[in-house]
Chains A and B, each alone.
Chain A
Amino acid sequence: MHEEIAVAGFGGQGVLFVGRLLAEASLLEGREVVWMPSYGAEKRGGTVWCNVTISDEKIGDLFITRPTAAIAMNPASLVKLEPAMKSGGLLVVNQSLVPSKVSREDIRVVYVPANDLATELGDDSVGNLVTLGALVTGCPVVSTSSIIAVMDNLLPKNQRRLEINKRALSKGCAWTQGN
Chain B
Amino acid sequence: MSKKTLMAGNIAIAEGAILAGCQAYFGYPITPQNEILEHMSKRMPEEGRVFVQTESELAAINMVYGAAAAGCRAMTSTSSPGFSLEQEGISYMSGAELPGVIVNVMRGGPGLGNIGGAQGDYFQSAKGGGHGDYRVINLAPASVQEMMDLTMLAFELADKYRNPVVVLADGFLGQAMEPVVMREPVTELPSKPWAITGALGRAKNIINSFEMDPVNFPPRVKLLLRKFKKMRRNEVRYEGLNLGDASLVIVAYGSASRSALTAMKMARQEGIPVGLLRPITLFPFPYEALSNLAQRINDFLVAELSSGQFIEDVKLAVGLDKRVALVNQYGGVPLLAEEILEAIEKMIKQPVGG
Contact = CB atoms under 8 A, between A and B. Distances in A.
Interface stretch (B71-79, B156-164, B173-181, B186-194): B173-181
B313 to A, nearest CB: 23
Interface residues of A, number: 20
A112 interface: no
B237 interface: no
Given A23-B177, A33-B179, A61 B32 contact: no
A65 B336 contact: yes
B176 A62 contact: yes
Contacts, number: 63
B172 A36 contact: yes
Contacts of A40: 115
B133 interface: no
B5 to A, nearest CB: 8
Interface bracket on B: 20 to 34
B176 A39 contact: no
A16 to B, nearest CB: 10
B91 interface: no
Contacts of A27: 4, 6, 179
Decide if the interface of chain B is mainly helix, strand, loop or mixed: helix
Contacts of A35: 6, 176-178
Interface in A111-133: none
Given A27-B4, A27-B6, A63 B336 contact: yes
A1 interface: no
B338 interface: yes
B116 to A, nearest CB: 8
B177 A39 contact: no
A34 B177 contact: yes
Given A23-B6, A27-B6, A62 B179 contact: no
A20 B179 CA distance: 12
A109 B177 CA distance: 28
Interface of A: 20, 23-24, 27, 32-37, 39-41, 58-63, 65
Nearest first, the 8 closest Cβ-Cβ pairs linking A and B are A60-B262, A60-B261, A35-B177, A61-B262, A61-B337, A61-B259, A36-B176, A63-B334
